[in-house]
């Protein structure tokens, strides 16, 4: 995981006051996302409505992994050496596991992942990937104590130690596959362009995906076995990779996952300077794939300099090319974060869609392979942005969670149900509703943050035809609205004016309660991350008496 400046989380700051004068007003238009051709990408209407529910922004450290243990709890791994539990309502005050002071913390080191085997409820053994104080990767086994929310710190067994040449590109994810084996993602150990060619060398576990058969009951070495169907198990050929290797050619696989419906494996690999990529391994693969690094960065040719033996050239069919690529461009992508194929129940229209994102840009993407295609995957974007995204997680029901470096934990949720149609009738003023121009016009606002939080603006009437709304702080008057009766010659309609000081998304709805049909409602929307564009609609309602 790369280090990068942490963008400021969206929030309201010091109280602000709106000017009473609305000048240089422009018409605001609602800009909907353009849909892609049918079947070319995930249903954009579904993506446009997705949002994130904030579970907490106060994790006691930097989260790097989120997983479950076969029940309703979420286990959040924190880089500093903690595993904490979200019990569905809060982060429990006592950590599940505390390894602070026992892990290296330089750059991308730390406690990097936690994995619970399918039979965890029977044996109580689980595994973590950590960097020890010597800088090496350790796969360690622990057991739960008599308290199901506390691990036994004295039960530690170091199952496998892998020497590391440096403090970056350590990979670090553990995940049990549908076959019951433990998969371990290992980076190339660092150095620009993998100078030692670790990802393609056969005498190291760096730059590889490992596959291990764990023996949870073993109290003496060996603590794991080599699955007999590993592609290089027992090979006498010195040119073959080591027995533990399942696949090779990775720079820094930062989060991989198995599709819980199909068993397919999707692996996101962080690029050097040009490409981020996602690779795909079908469930029936015998293993042994070479995913290209360092000769290829995605589909971009690099170099074989430093490789001790000849390796296939760029573009050779020996390399498995990615199914998805993201170029480094002005949007700021720099480090991919792999997610999951959605198989939950809360968002049925998202079934079979792979979710992933980027640490630097915060862009969240969704991809799928259209039925009947040649295997090409296409990607759309979610309307929410998550800067400093570090990890996705899946709960026991298949719902998707996200974590950010600054201590936030979020849950992907379905689109909010739109409010029911406004029925004609008198306007009733309330905490979220203004009734302007003698009560003829009902005015409401709805806001949405980059994280997907939504809500109604809180109304404050000022005069018969003017009022304001606040969203997060009563002292911050976010939007001021004025509906003018212009039914005096030479004008024959009502006008709507509005101004504001906010950069969250704002939807302003004005309804003529004495009319019916589509012409009775005007909706104006200001996009996310843009200063509020003043509204001057002198053609709003042609409903003068």
- What the block records as the tokens of 342 is 């959605």
Residues 89 and 51: their CA atoms lie apart, in Å, by 19
Nearest C-alpha neighbor of 427 from the set 517, 513, 485, 508: 513
Residues 294 and 251: their CA atoms lie apart, in Å, by 7
The answer to whether the beta carbons of residues 365 and 283 sit under 8 Å apart is: no
Cis omega before residue 294 (within 30°)? yes
How many helical (H) and strand (E) elements, i.e. helices and strands, does the chain have? Answer: 2, 37
Residues 479 and 486: their CA atoms lie apart, in Å, by 22
Q: What is the pTM of this model?
A: 0.75
Residues 502 and 196: their CA atoms lie apart, in Å, by 51
pLDDT 10s digit of each residue in the chain, 545 long? 543 332 223 233 233 333 322 222 212 222 222 223 333 445 566 787 788 888 998 999 999 999 999 999 999 999 999 999 999 989 999 999 999 999 999 999 999 999 999 999 999 999 999 999 999 999 999 999 999 999 999 999 999 999 999 999 999 999 999 999 999 999 999 999 999 999 999 999 999 999 999 999 999 999 999 999 999 999 999 889 999 999 999 999 999 999 999 999 999 999 999 999 999 999 999 999 999 999 999 999 999 999 988 899 999 999 999 999 999 988 899 999 999 999 999 998 899 999 999 999 999 999 998 766 566 788 888 888 898 999 999 999 999 999 999 999 999 998 765 555 555 568 888 899 999 998 999 999 999 887 667 789 999 999 999 999 999 888 888 999 999 988 877 788 899 999 999 988 899 999 998 887 777 889 998 887 788 999 999 888 887 76
The answer to whether the beta carbons of residues 506 and 531 sit under 8 Å apart is: no
Residues 28 and 511: their CA atoms lie apart, in Å, by 17
Nearest C-alpha neighbor of 127 from the set 62, 172, 60, 79: 172
Residue position matching structure tokens 């991350």: 529
Q: 3-state DSSP call for residue 468? A: strand
**DSSP letter string over 105-164?**
-STT-SEEEEE--TTHHHH-EEEEEEE-TTS-EEEEEEEE-SSTT-EEEEEEEEEEEE--
Residues 237 and 456: their CA atoms lie apart, in Å, by 67
pLDDT for 349 equals 86
CATH class, domain 44-413, is mainly beta
- Up-side HSE of residue 415: CA atoms within 13 Å toward CB? 15
- Up-side HSE of residue 244: CA atoms within 13 Å toward CB? 20
Q: How many Cβ atoms are within 10 Å of 107's Cβ, its own excluded?
A: 16
pLDDT for 43 equals 57
- What the block records as the tokens of 158 is 């170091």
Residues 138 and 127: their CA atoms lie apart, in Å, by 10
Domain layout of the chain by residue ranges: 1-31+416-545, 44-413
Quick one: how far is CA 162 from the chain centroid?
A: 29
Strand partners, 162: 137
Q: How many Cβ atoms are within 10 Å of 424's Cβ, its own excluded?
A: 12
């Amino acid at each position: 995981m790369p280090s990068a400046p942490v963008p400021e989380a969206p929030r309201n700051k010091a109280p602000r006051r709106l000017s009473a004068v609305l000048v240089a007003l422009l018409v605001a238009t609602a800009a909907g996302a353009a849909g892609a051709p049918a079947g070319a990408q995930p249903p954009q209407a579904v993506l446009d409505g997705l949002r994130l529910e904030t579970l907490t922004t106060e994790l006691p450290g930097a989260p790097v992994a989120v997983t479950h243990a076969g029940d309703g709890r979420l286990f959040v791994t924190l880089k500093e050496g903690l595993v904490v539990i979200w019990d569905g309502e809060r982060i429990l005050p006592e950590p599940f596991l505390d390894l602070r002071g026992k892990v290296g913390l330089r750059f991308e080191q730390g406690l990097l992942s936690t994995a619970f085997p399918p039979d965890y409820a029977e044996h109580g053994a689980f595994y973590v990937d950590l960097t020890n104080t010597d800088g090496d990767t350790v796969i360690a086994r622990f057991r739960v104590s008599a308290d199901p929310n506390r691990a036994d710190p004295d039960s530690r067994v170091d199952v496998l130690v892998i020497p590391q040449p440096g403090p970056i590109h350590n990979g670090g994810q553990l995940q049990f596959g549908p076959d019951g084996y433990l998969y371990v993602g290992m980076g190339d150990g660092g150095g620009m362009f993998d100078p030692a060619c670790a990802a393609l060398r056969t005498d190291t576990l760096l730059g590889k995906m490992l596959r291990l058969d764990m023996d949870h009951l073993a109290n003496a070495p060996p603590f794991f076995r080599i699955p007999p169907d590993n592609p290089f198990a027992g090979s006498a050929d010195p040119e073959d990779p080591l027995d533990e290797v399942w696949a090779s050619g990775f720079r820094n696989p930062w989060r991989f996952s198995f599709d819980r419906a199909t068993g397919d494996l999707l692996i996101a690999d962080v690029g050097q300077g040009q490409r981020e990529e996602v690779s795909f391994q079908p469930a029936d693969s015998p293993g042994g794939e070479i995913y290209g690094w360092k000769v290829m960065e995605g589909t971009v040719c690099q170099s074989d300099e430093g490789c001790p033996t000849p390796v296939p050239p760029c573009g050779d069919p020996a390399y498995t090319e990615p199914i998805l690529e993201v170029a480094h461009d002005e949007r700021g992508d720099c480090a991919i974060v792999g997610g999951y194929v959605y198989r939950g129940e809360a968002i049925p229209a998202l079934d079979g869609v792979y979710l992933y994102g980027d640490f630097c840009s915060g862009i969240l993407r969704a991809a799928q392979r259209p039925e009947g295609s040649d295997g090409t995957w296409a990607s759309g974007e979610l309307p929410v942005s998550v800067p400093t995204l570090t990890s996705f997680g899946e709960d026991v029901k298949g719902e998707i969670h996200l974590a950010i470096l600054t201590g936030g934990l979020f849950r992907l949720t379905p689109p909010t149900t739109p409010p029911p149609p406004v029925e004609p009738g008198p306007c009733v003023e309330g905490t979220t509703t203004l009734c302007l121009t003698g009560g003829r016009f009902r005015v409401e606002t709805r806001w949405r943050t980059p994280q997907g939080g939504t809500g109604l603006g809180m109304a404050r009437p000022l005069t018969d035809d003017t009022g304001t709304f606040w969203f997060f702080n009563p002292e911050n008057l976010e939007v001021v609205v004025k509906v003018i009766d212009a039914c005096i010659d030479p004008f024959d309609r009502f006008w709507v004016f509005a101004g504001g000081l906010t950069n969250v998304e704002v939807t302003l709805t004005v309804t003529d309660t004495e009319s019916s049909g589509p012409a009775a409602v005007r909706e104006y929307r200001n996009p996310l991350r843009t200063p509020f564009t003043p509204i001057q609609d002198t053609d709003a309602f042609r409903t003068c008496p």
